[in-house]
Amino acid sequence: MTEHLLKILIVGDGNVGKSSFVNRYISGNFNRTYKMTVGVDFAVKLLHWSDEEKVRLQLWDIAGQERFISMTRIYYKGAVGCIVMFDISSSSSFLSCRLWKEDLDHKAMLPNGDTIPCLLLANKCDLAERAVSADTIDHFSGANGFFTWMEASVKENKNVGEAMRRLVQEILSV
């Protein structure tokens, strides 16, 4: 039995749903029962990935430090994958994804020097008002080195587990 320990970052502007995402994924709840200590804490989940592999996930949410945009290297150290999240009803949160990705590409590297796999997640797709079209997201995702993008609704529990599964799959395949 192999056990992988994967440090995964969840980044994006404030209010896009990062804490809700982690809470939903870890505990299955939408209402907040979880809030991390600023900067130093992370949530853990153990996955039985296959007959031979277990995956221990460490999810690092930036926990209210979004205003610094550029995070410290400690936060990025040892990370092997990332979810960059925005709110589909907020164009400014979408525009910020470019900065988040640039910051990641400068600071988070795999031991071989490659950038870490990043999934772009368009949250709050339950909302009727959309500020960003699928075409725009698709183009942006491809042009900025995301391996894929997905729509999600943490509120309706849509694509939360699936986004994490795709990310873990990508991490284990590189």
Interacting residue ranges for ligand GDP, rule: CB under 6 A: 14-20, 123-124, 126-127, 153-155
Alpha-carbon distance 134 to 160, whole Å?
18
Nearer to ligand GDP, 55 or 87 (CB): 87
Alpha-carbon distance 103 to 115, whole Å?
11
Nearer to ligand GDP, 55 or 163 (CB): 163
In whole angstroms, the minimum distance from the beta carbon of 112 to ligand GDP comes to 31
Nearer to ligand GDP, 17 or 81 (CB): 17
Contact 150, 121 (CB under 8 A): yes
In whole angstroms, the minimum distance from the beta carbon of 11 to ligand GDP comes to 9
Nearer to ligand GDP, 15 or 27 (CB): 15
In whole angstroms, the minimum distance from the beta carbon of 32 to ligand GDP comes to 7
Nearest to 155 by CA among 32, 65, 45, 14: 32
SS3 100: helix
In whole angstroms, the minimum distance from the beta carbon of 45 to ligand GDP comes to 17
* 91-107 vs 134-143: helix crossing angle, rounded to 10: 10
